[in-house]
A and B are shown apart, each in its own frame.
Chain A
Amino acid sequence: MTEEATNPMRDAIASAISENPVLLFMKGTPEQPMCGFSARTVAILESVGRPFAAVDVLPDPRIRQELSALSNWPTIPQLFVDGDLVGGCDIVTEMYESGELQEALGVENAEAANGPLEVTEPEQAPPMSIENRLG
């Protein structure tokens, strides 16, 4: 595999980032996080109340590899808002505590949160599935 070769995994990650205004790459799913840092980040996003999409990096090690190469960020979770990396669990926690996260997500008042989020079928076939919770 050369650098020039097409890289469907990286392309899929890049389009997921550009197509989902709030996207979390995590270990496990929002319903069943497989790592404490991912669980905490999900809990914060849910408490802010802005719907988000999530990608589980565990099914294929290449997801994490390509994501980190693309984002220049070594750890999981990674939260993207409007195509930009916001940070991992530590930064999301700090921003939540200071109110910056709510501002970045355009949700000033966490109480104004939406009702239960609906989980829709992922549009894409494997290798990388996106859990689309924007609907």
Chain B
Amino acid sequence: MVSVSSDELKQRIESGIPGARADVTGDGHHFNAVVSAPAFKGLNRIAQHRLVYGVFGAELGDRIHALSLQTKAPEQET
């Protein structure tokens, strides 16, 4: 199994969600991502996280062992 890099996750989130910006850190198995995207506007946290999870599908919990997420719409800087 090829290990996953933080850069790969960042690029996939940013290309999977239009206009998204992602900061990803991690050790190859556990990752932490802070993602902002215009698409998050008006969505609750559950829906925002689902958009990011949707980029990875079945890889989550498998190839990507764990992904901690913080999401926000661009204006929402809290």
Contact = CB atoms under 8 A, between A and B. Distances in A.
B65 to A, nearest CB: 10
Contact of A90 (B50, B60, B61, B68): B68
A37 B61 CA distance: 13
B39 to A, nearest CB: 17
Nearest to B68: A90
A94 B45 contact: yes
Interface of A: 37, 72-75, 85-91, 94-95
A37 B70 CA distance: 15
Interface residues of B, number: 12
Contacts of B61: 74-75
Interface of B: 45-46, 49-50, 53, 60-61, 66-70
21 contacts: A73-B46, A73-B50, A73-B53, A74-B53, A74-B60, A74-B61, A75-B53, A75-B60, A75-B61, A75-B66, A75-B67, A86-B46, A87-B46, A89-B68, A90-B70, A91-B45, A91-B46, A91-B49, A94-B45, A94-B70, A95-B45
B50 A87 contact: no
Given A73-B50, A74-B53, A75-B61, A87 B45 contact: yes
Contacts of A85: 46
Given A73-B50, A75-B61, A37 B66 contact: yes
Nearest to B30: A36
